[in-house]
Amino acid sequence: MVVEIDGVTLHLAHPDELTVTWVGQEEVMRQLLAAWLVVDSQDVPMNPRLLGKPGVGKTTLAYAAAKRLNREVYIMQATVDTRPEDLLVTPVIEGQSRLRYVASPLVTAMLRGGVVILDEGNRMSEKSWASLAPLLDNRRYVESIVTGIKIKAHPLFRLVATMNDDASTFDLPEYIHSRLQPQLTIDFPERHEEYSILKENVPFADEQILTYVTEFLQQAHAADERYTVRDGINIARFVMKLKSLEDGEILSSKSDERFLMRTAILETLGDEALRYVPRS
């Protein structure tokens, strides 16, 4: 896909196609969709940020919300090395002394009226955030220094930034912080929600395993541990893989199955996680 702006040809990115389902916590979904609403001709959509521990489902929520709007979704991973040109337009050498200008997923979403998920946005430096400042207020445009063009956002364009609540991130500058509102916090799910998430993501797991992993996660949450449902999904998957090594044979006892589940927790999360292993 290509578009031309002020005589400059931009090659667009492709949308991300994922198979995800948002389970539970409908209130935060409702708040995200509300932030994107435009309620008057003089109104503009907000740019919410989703805050939570790694693995609680921030990207899944953002993707599922965009799909409820039937929009194309573009995920852009932010890192400490992300440069302004990475966020906007990157020049690529093509043939002999020719440049090809490649639009980022963010710029592609701007032009096509899609939704961009700026993933782990608080790992990005202030210099990169500064290049997005005019996009995040009423102006809704970016300026590419590489191409010398101004790119305006389609009226249907929406942005959401996910941010990890941990120590390995930058503090946002105040002028960016005030543009990324509201802040929506995603917490650990309730027991029945966590079970449903595990079942959705590991549908081939036995009910006993899903219940066991759910109980493990709930005990860890009660102790304010960092373990999330993403860890639980990996544990459940690993248990099923360990069971498959039995060549289809039935385990000799319930204690053998519990041993496999304990092993999966140990090898996935380490010794410290064993304190939250269910007793029964």
pLDDT tens track for 138-191: 999 999 999 999 999 999 999 999 998 876 667 888 999 999 999 999 988 899
* Burial bucket for residue 244 (CB in 10 Å: 0-12, 13-18, 19+): exposed
Measured at the CA of 142, the angle between CA 140 and CA 145, to 5 degrees, comes to 165
Instruction: Give the predicted TM-score (pTM) of the model.
Output: 0.86
Closest C-alpha among 149, 145, 75 to residue 109: 75
- Structure tokens given for 61: 């929520």
pLDDT tens track for 107-120: 999 999 999 999 99
- Structure tokens given for 159: 């942005």
**Assigned CATH class of 2-185:** alpha beta
Domain ranges of the chain: 2-185, 191-276
Q: Read off the pLDDT band of 245 (50, 70, 90).
A: confident
pLDDT for position 256:
76
- pLDDT above 60: residue 249: no
